[in-house]
Structure 1
């Protein structure tokens, strides 16, 4: 059965993952089941990608319409939480998952608070009553472990200026620089969903990787989940670009004490120790303001909110006018204290 739905053994209602207790919970009778002790149906059932072309809700029998990347969703007719098991097996099976720890209600409350903290946002935006929808999504990521062998050659100088008698001297010493460095970076996150904005996902970091758990399908119940659009080989260039700045910073810290440094050769050999496919929790908020939709994202574990809110031109103008007025008064005061005149 490729469509997996968790029925409550007590009342038969659909169960969902409870972010507060970390258990599979029944909203009808309040039953809670420990996920870690539950058998995973994907372990005992092997599905192939071509086994089914149409999914049916096990509660009401309705056809479940999804996009090709969706692995968990809810029935549009009865609202039952379903997991599409055949899209989570074999090479599509995540290794680990960080479960949601922030509920939908908590996420909404935190987002409203974040809106009100915007000093330059339009006044109407701060009311945060135009939210079109808030959706909990498990976003696919690749976590890379990258090992780097770095060799750097260059020319450095140390310049000393001193005075002797009536003359000033400049002494320049020249050095040949060579550094051999090994740098390992673990859990470098790259989002693997074509739908997700890469910039938004990068700004959501860091995720608490100590909360990673072995993947089990009950964690997805009640949420939307996506499978990866790009494999680890396709995203490797992005992962290398992501650590490049850190490598450059380390090289700079290893070549200090010189007045000038000119690199003549810099070799960075990066190898992939492993790439782990994981699902990370993200609340996506769609907000309508002045007939324009704004998208925000919230880290489902830390509550960090990222996005670009609208800016009030009137508030920006007032802010600059206030700054200019204060600067003018300060200059007048300084001029008066010095006995001068400022026009």
Structure 2
């Protein structure tokens, strides 16, 4: 089943417009507010919590752990094979892989939403719509290329973009509770003069922390095609824009279903949560000359996980016969990826550092009255 949102005035296919955040007809300019439209499906999704974890989410608790009911909103996909679809506009036969949920007809450029892969529990619960259009994405990327300190001069021109594709990437957004205990040995060192003596006084302390931290909307991309490190670097997203899923948001973009369940990705969330707790506990131990942790233990419990789609622009750039892949946060414009490196600029950079270091050493030696 293919879903296409037709303009009520001229009958053309309407597409989601990132600038206005409305469904817009490219032919006559007719617009519709997606939030006023009835959803095509009822995903029976659980509402997400507030945005990212903050100091208000922290609560120190002493006592036993609470038991949380683990919840998740997702479905199963039984069809793992490629499937044929017929474009309702031009009649072309299109073949998609098992992961695709929205695409564009390669013959007539019409948006195609594959409704049979989005019905019932297969539908995402939430979506962050694109707020950066294709034109703005290209402009933002060109500005980003110009700031490379060690990239080749020709790369900074950003005139070899081979493709820009807007994709909704499947993510799980987790609400978790993390409990942690930490023991540390700390010192306070004081230096003073007493008579003819220089005295160093060192005091030793045993430090203990026990905390309970609640985190909301920790993301983990659920697509096997997208590099995890690249998707992690696209964070943070602003979750105030998280809205109930409706298929018109996909019109004109590519979208895919998840490949990993929330249970399969939870170990990644545990690692992230433990890192956050490490940072929090370390920030509470202040005023010491040194701090050495002797023991740390953590326990992370999943409270909820919501299947969501987050916007990403994928950019392919051809430079000296090699393709470079970059990703852009479709909400904030943040760009990640590894650009080409100019060996000449790297050599000049390190040469400059060496020269500056030499000059500083020379000046210090001369000021001290020594010979260089």
Q: Tell me whether the two structures share a fold, i.e. TM-score over 0.5.
A: yes
Q: Which residue of 1 aligns with 2:63?
A: none
Give the equivalent residue in structure 2 for 1:302.
Answer: 332
Tell me how far 1:318 sits from its aligned partner. 2.1
Which runs of structure 2 are paired with 1:19-30 in the superposition (5 Å)? 19-30=18-29
Question: 1:49, 1:86 within 8 Å by CA — same for their partners in 2?
Answer: no
Deviations 1:276-298 (A, max 9, x none): 11111110000111111111111
| SS at structure 2 position matched to 1:248 | helix
Task: Classify 1:90/1:178 alpha carbon distance in 2 versus 1 (closer, same or farther; 3 Å).
Answer: same
Secondary structure of 1:138's aligned partner: strand
CA positional deviation for 1:273: 1.1
Mapped pair 1:197 → 2:197: no
- TM (normalized to structure 2)? 0.82
Report what 1:282 is aligned to.
Answer: 312
Corresponding residue for 1:216?
Answer: 246
Measure how far apart 1:10 and its partner are. Answer: 1.5
Given that 1:71 and 1:227 are in contact with CA atoms closer than 8 Å, whether structure 2 keeps it comes out as: yes
Q: Which residue of 2 aligns with 1:118?
A: 148
Match of 2:64 in 1: none
Q: Among 192, 211, 224, which residue is 1:181 paired with?
A: 211
Separation in 1, partners of 2:189, 2:153: 57
Taking the TM superposition and a 5 Å limit, the aligned residue runs for 1:1-343 are: 2-43=1-42, 53-153=83-183, 176-257=206-287, 263=293, 265-328=295-358, 342=372
SS in 2 for 1:42: coil
Q: Is the 8 A contact 1:142 1:191 kept in 2?
A: yes
* Whole-angstrom CA distance in 2 between matches of 1:336 and 1:210: 59
Residue 324 of structure 1: CA displacement? Answer: 3.5
Instruction: Provide the C-alpha distance between the structure 2 equivalents of 1:178 and 1:327, rounded to a whole number of angstroms.
Output: 43
For residues 338 and 159 of structure 2, the distance between their equivalents in structure 1, rounded to whole angstroms, comes to: 17
Quickly say closer, same or farther: Cα 1:325–1:160, change in 2 above 3 A: closer
Q: Name the count of aligned residue pairs.
A: 339
CA deviations 1:168-204 (Å, max 9, x no partner) are 7777666554432111111111111111111111111
Offset at 1:239? 0.7
SS at match of 2:237: coil
SS at 1:184's partner residue? strand
Q: How far apart are the structure 2 equivalents of 1:339 and 1:151?
A: 54
Q: Unmatched 5+ residue regions in structure 2?
A: 44-74
CA RMSD of aligned residues (A): 2.9
Q: CA separation in 1, counterparts of 2:40 and 2:34?
A: 12
Deviates more, 1:257-266 or 1:229-238: 257-266
- TM-score, scaled to structure 1: 0.88
Unaligned 5+ runs, structure 1: none
Output the CA distance in 2 between the equivalents of 1:151 and 1:331: 46
